[in-house]
Structure 1
Amino acid sequence: MKTHSNSGFTLIEMMIAVAIIAIIAAIALPLYQSQMEQTRRTTAQADLLELTQWMERRYSNGFDYRDGGNNPILPFDQSPQNGDAFYDISFVGNVARNAFTLQAVPTGPQTNDDCGTLTLDEQGNRGADQAAGCW
């Protein structure tokens, strides 16, 4: 008489495996999303610094941040510069002859970031809706 050995997973073993995967996913997904928000924020900070340097080069040429009395047209107005925008970059109000403030306003999935809008002015003063730990 032959005996057949069943090999495979039982329903209980499969349910335990699914439960373990669900627990790991519940922990990993928020951590991943938080890391992505931080990465996008860092890119926006670098883009604000790049635009501030661009404005300083303009000022060194004519001792005026403005373009004929008007706000200059920025070389790019989103972050990242290519691809899907996670921040819209613009000036806060009007640019003065010797002063300006740039802002990066979160859009799309980045609106969930606790730091909110990032700002940077001509003196290097940095700001955010939630200032602690955002820069």
Structure 2
Amino acid sequence: MRHPPPPGFTLIELMIVVAVIVILGTVAVPSYNEYIRGVHRADARAGLLQAQQWLERAATANGVYPTKLPVDLTWTRDSSKRYTIDFLATSGHDDDTYTLIATRRGSQLNDRCGDFTLTHTGERDARNLGANTKAIECWGR
């Protein structure tokens, strides 16, 4: 008389499942991390554009660019952001200019796209880029 096999999984079946999970994890986790870094980059670009719009409205109303960003801009008061927005102003007789800089911090410090810059002319650039990375790629993503 034969006995039916006991219900459940064999050790080999369990090890196959574990191996599949590990393989999926090694592919999924880096992709997810890059996705999250991309979200933070997009957030920084949006912050730069928000600050630029405010500066242009203020310059239109007052005739000159302000010398600093207001405290009530979303970016200037939110410490949870992965970038800080800095403002460099140059005022002269006919050369009122500014540069906005989104500087990495926290988990973005090792991001390949570096720090974003935006000037009064609308020129978009990035500093401290990783190897084989171009600013146009970072601004476009």
TM-score, normalised to structure 1, is: 0.84
CA-based RMSD: 2.2
Q: 1:71 to 1:84 in 2, by over 3 A?
A: closer
- Structure 2: state its 5+ residue gaps: 130-134
Percent identity over the alignment is: 35
Structure 2 CA distance for aligned equivalents of residues 63 and 82 of structure 1: 29
Residue 72 to residue 2, structure 1, CA distance change in 2 (3 Å): closer
Shift of 1:73: 3.2
1:86-105 matches, within 5 Å, as: 86-92=82-88, 94-96=89-91, 98-105=96-103
1:107-126 to 2 correspondence within 5 Å?
107-126=105-124
C-alpha distance in structure 2 between counterparts of 1:32 and 1:82, whole Å: 24
Q: TM-score, normalization: structure 2? A: 0.81
Is 1:39–2:39 an aligned residue pair?
Answer: yes
Unaligned stretches of 5+ in structure 1? none
Match of 2:126 among 121, 125, 128: 128
The number of equivalent residue pairs is: 130
Q: Is the 8 A contact 1:102 1:119 kept in 2?
A: yes
In the TM superposition, residue 83 of structure 1 has moved relative to its aligned partner by 6.8
Q: Report the CA distance between 1:5 and its aligned residue.
A: 2.9
Question: Could you say if the C-alpha distance between residues 83 and 62 of structure 1 is closer, same or farther in structure 2, counting changes exceeding 3 Å?
Answer: closer
Aligned partner letter, 2:99: T
Contact 1:77 1:88 in 2 (8 A): no
